[in-house]
């Protein structure tokens, strides 16, 4: 396993297992399978509705808690001083653990500064080992880094061969924030798994398209969390530490970059408007 040392000294695995869009019951089996396949980092979120399944899978795996790195995210409807802190405690309860290794703010909407103050409180109280953000563009990340008492240690954003996020990555490095990718397989868009270039390069190394894409991102210093519900594919995705891409191959893959979102464009006003209306409804339901 390769590791990233965060700004506070915490060592984080560079490769983990993501559970987005997996139901709670299936998550238990998938997490246990992932841990059996060698994964030691599991990425979930309040909004995924499967934190309990993650906790059950961890328990079923039989692997000691201190060998695992758990990531979760506070959903936007839980932003607010006191409210965010309480939601983190609820995540701890659902996961069945005393401490979360990395907690992120899921989106840069609503009162994320108030939410961040609660994140800092949870960090100082030892509920979490590290704190960060997700889906924060470069200016929003700069905003929170500038005014926070404790700066984010990680920013998880859409990153894959079709959107390599070089500008955002440079900004993160300048701010001392680790770059974590969601959707490293572009969620299958752009005919990802049949891409001719990635297939050709994969044949050269005896590796799959997915393995080539993951190795490329790892070489850029990007933390990745591929998802699969099939154990054999989990094992395949984990098997990326025994080869290196040539400079020539990396240069070819760099040319696949479209420099735009493929999965979920946060610049799309209609898309984000729908998200905000959803969150407003969730907040109203909590009142």
Q: Which domain holds residue 29?
A: 3-286
Q: How open is the CA angle 184-185-190, to the nearest 5 degrees?
A: 130
Give the pLDDT band of residue 248 (cuts 50, 70, 90). Answer: very high
Segment 104-124 mean pLDDT: 98
Q: Is 160 annotated among the ligand-binding residues?
A: no
Percentage of the chain beyond pLDDT 90 is: 99
**pLDDT tier for residue 169 given thresholds of 50, 70 and 90:** very high
The helix/strand/coil state of 160 is: strand
Cβ atoms 72, 103 nearer than 8 A = yes
pLDDT at 187 over 90: yes
* Domain of residue 127, CATH code: 3.20.20.100
Q: In the chain, how many domains are there? A: 1
Catalytic, out of 17, 39, 48, 79: 48
- Crossing angle of helices 112-124 and 83-95, in 10° steps, is 50
Mean pLDDT of 244-267: 96
Whether 110 and 81 have beta carbons less than 8 Å apart is answered as no
pLDDT confidence of residue 231: 97
Looking at residue 76, its pLDDT comes to: 98
pTM for the structure as a whole: 0.97
123 annotated active-site: no
pLDDT of residue 167: 97
pLDDT number for residue 238: 98
pLDDT tens-digit map of 15-52: 999 999 999 889 999 999 999 999 999 999 999 999 99
At 287 the pLDDT is 82
Which residue in this structure is represented by tokens 């059996």? 36
Sign of the alpha-carbon torsion through 226, 240, 37, 40 = negative
The pair of structure tokens assigned to 163 is 């959107």
Rounded Cα distance between 76 and 80, Å, is 9
How high is the pLDDT of residue 164? Answer: 98
Mean pLDDT of 52-65: 97
Per-residue pLDDT at 192: 97
């Amino acid at each position: 396993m390769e590791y990233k040392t965060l700004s506070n000294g915490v060592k984080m695995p560079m490769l983990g297992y993501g559970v987005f869009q997996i139901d709670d019951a299936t998550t238990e089996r998938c997490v246990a399978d992932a841990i059996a396949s060698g994964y030691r980092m599991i990425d979930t979120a309040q909004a995924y509705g499967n934190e309990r399944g993650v906790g059950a899978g961890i328990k079923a795996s039989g692997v000691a808690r201190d060998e695992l790195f758990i990531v979760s995210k506070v959903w936007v409807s839980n932003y607010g001083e006191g409210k965010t802190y309480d939601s983190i405690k609820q995540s701890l309860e659902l996961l069945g653990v005393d401490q979360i290794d990395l907690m992120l703010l899921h989106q840069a909407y609503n009162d994320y500064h108030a939410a961040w103050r609660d994140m800092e409180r949870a960090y100082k109280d030892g509920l979490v080992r590290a704190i960060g953000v997700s889906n924060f563009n470069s200016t929003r990340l700069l905003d929170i880094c500038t005014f926070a008492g404790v700066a984010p240690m990680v920013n998880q954003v859409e990153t894959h061969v079709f959107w390599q996020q070089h500008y955002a990555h440079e900004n993160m490095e300048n701010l001392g924030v680790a770059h974590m990718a969601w959707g490293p397989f572009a969620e299958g868009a752009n005919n990802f798994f049949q891409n001719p270039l990635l297939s050709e390069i994969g044949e050269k190394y005896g590796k799959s398209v997915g393995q080539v894409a993951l190795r490329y991102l790892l070489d850029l210093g990007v933390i990745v969390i591929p998802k699969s519900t099939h154990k054999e594919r989990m094992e395949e995705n984990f098997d990326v530490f025994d080869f290196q891409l040539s400079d020539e191959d990396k240069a070819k893959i760099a040319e696949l970059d479209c420099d735009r979102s493929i999965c979920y464009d946060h610049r799309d006003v209609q898309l984000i408007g729908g998200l905000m209306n959803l969150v407003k409804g969730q907040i109203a339901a909590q009142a």
